[in-house]
Amino acid sequence: MRKTIRLTAISMALASLLFGCASVGPSYAAPVAANQVQLPAEYRAADKAQHWWQQFNDPVLNQLIEKALLNNQTLAAAEANVKRAYAVFEDSDNDHLPRMDITASQQNNQVPDSAAQNAGQIQRQANLGGALSWDLDLFGKLRRAAEAADARAQGAELAWQEAKVQLLAQVAASYGDYRGAELRLSVAEQNLGNLRRTKQIILARRDAGVASDLEISRIDAQIYQLQSTMPQFAFAKAQANATLAALVAQPAEQFVVDGSLVKSRSEALPELNKPLSFANQHNYLKFRTDVAVAERELAASTADIGVATAELYPEVSVSGFLGFISSPGLSLGSQNEAWSIAPSLRWQATELSSIQARIRGAEAEQQMAFARFQQTVFDALAQMQTSLHGYKTSREQQLSAQQQVAATEQAVQLTRAQYEAGTTEFLDLLDAEREWLAARDQQAVLSAQSFQRLVSVYRAFAGGLELEPNTPQIALVKE
């Protein structure tokens, strides 16, 4: 018992020595600014990141995103990577603890017949106890390694959140491609119907002797030109359908976008039910998970310097045994109690130049991580600003296109009435029809573009938009 108490006291003294030591290498502090850009104190996923698309009030889109979140395998792989990274961290974090292996063995020997004494007897020797080993982390090598593993595990979790952001945006964008192709196909079919009605007017006038076959040929040429564009819309729709099928992990040939929620193709693409405005008191960088991932990698690379620096110093470890060892012919009992403790020191004195090289390599890696972090910040700011301007431009184009469609439609109606009355030339009607068809198709294109750019806004802001009415100013970072 006294031996056990003595071993415990020694262990407690070593523990006091261990926890009194400092870690070598730089201690990490998160950057507060990048080239005069104020950085957030913390990074987190936005509250609206998981339901921003619901503002479109589109049940089909809601259904697609639910399926993607449930079935997408890229997202599942990212989630599994989080579990792996935290397992690596837990393993690394346990390295500073003492390790004890429970051992039990027995050895049986038969004394040779030629022996002078105990000839032919079987002698047994046994031991039972715990083998202790403990690396005393005097200079923080293990603690720094645990810091690096923890930062990378947090980065993996943030990367999982980033994968969600990208997946949701990709589903919404592909849905926009599908609906945009569907809308252009619907507009083309409506335009085709209008041209055929115009052809009927020309046929009637030819039968009356006031129109020629040349006019029929020209309207036929416009009809065939329009028909030639329709297969590409069908292909774009099928391509978007296949992309969505892959995102929700279903075979394309068995996948139907609308499912039981069939919507009219003439319906416009999803839009917000109120103008988009931005609260200017928020630093939206705090929602950018790619920036947060880069910051965690910077933290990990900083800890790696401490791991490399600790190799300049001796490594101290302790090994020991506590248990029972029996002599040949004796059974285990209290009289066989045994213990041992053996400290050891290891120092890579002949490898100092190599260690210095590894330290320089770790420092260079940290510089690279810092540069990547800053570039990620600037890329994020540029992406947010560009997405806002792109969406604003699309909305302005949509308004102009809407006015153009109304004007060209009125021009067609007036020109058609004049042509039927014989007061205008056929070429005037043909030009009016052509301008109206082009205006309607352009309106469909801009509608799809506006939706895509709105999705890009949500992607750029990681779903963290704070929509507030009557907010004229747009600020990406808080000054």
Burial class (CB in 10 A: 0-12, 13-18, 19+), 81: middle
Q: How far apart are alpha carbons 242 and 174 in whole angstroms?
A: 9
Report d(CA 141, CA 36) in Å as an integer.
34
Torsion of CA 373, 377, 382, 383, to 10 degrees: 90
CA 310 to CA 25: how far, in whole Å?
Answer: 8
Helix (H) / strand (E) containing 346:
strand 337-346
Rounded (5°) CA angle 206-210-211? 50
Give the residue ranges of DSSP H helices in 208-277. Answer: 213-247
**DSSP string for 364-425:** HHHHHHHHHHHHHHHHHHHHHHHHHHHHHHHHHHHHHHHHHHHHHHHHHHHHHHHHHHT-S-
Question: Rg of the chain's alpha carbons, rounded to an integer?
Answer: 38
Q: Which residues of 158-173 are buried (b: 16+ CB within 10 A; e: fewer)?
A: bbbbbbbbbbbbbbbb
Residue 135's SS3 state is: strand
Q: pTM of the full predicted structure?
A: 0.77
Domains in the chain: boundaries: 35-104+137-460
Task: Compute the residue count for the chain.
Answer: 479
Quote the longest CA-to-CA distance of the chain. Answer: 140
Phi/psi of residue 109, each to 5°?
-130, 140
Other Cβ atoms within 10 Å of 94 Cβ, number: 11
Q: Is residue 196 exposed (0-12), middle (13-18) or buried (19+ Cβ within 10 Å)?
A: exposed
Residue 77: the pLDDT is: 86
The per-residue pLDDT for 118 is 57
**CATH top-level class of 35-104+137-460:** mainly alpha
202 Cβ partners below 8 Å, 6+ apart? 211, 215, 216, 219, 426
CA end-to-end distance (rounded Å), the chain: 67
pLDDT in single tens digits along all 479 residues of the chain: 444 444 444 454 444 444 445 678 889 888 888 888 888 888 887 776 667 788 788 888 888 988 888 888 888 888 888 888 888 878 777 777 777 777 776 666 665 655 556 555 666 667 766 677 777 778 888 888 888 999 999 889 888 888 888 888 899 999 999 988 988 898 888 888 888 888 888 888 888 887 788 888 888 998 898 899 899 989 998 899 899 989 988 887 778 776 544 444 445 677 766 666 565 545 788 888 899 999 999 999 999 999 898 888 888 878 777 766 766 655 555 556 777 777 877 888 778 888 899 999 999 999 999 999 999 999 999 998 898 899 889 888 988 999 999 999 999 899 888 888 888 888 888 888 888 888 988 988 898 898 898 889 888 888 777 555 444 444 444 43
Residue 39: predicted pLDDT: 86
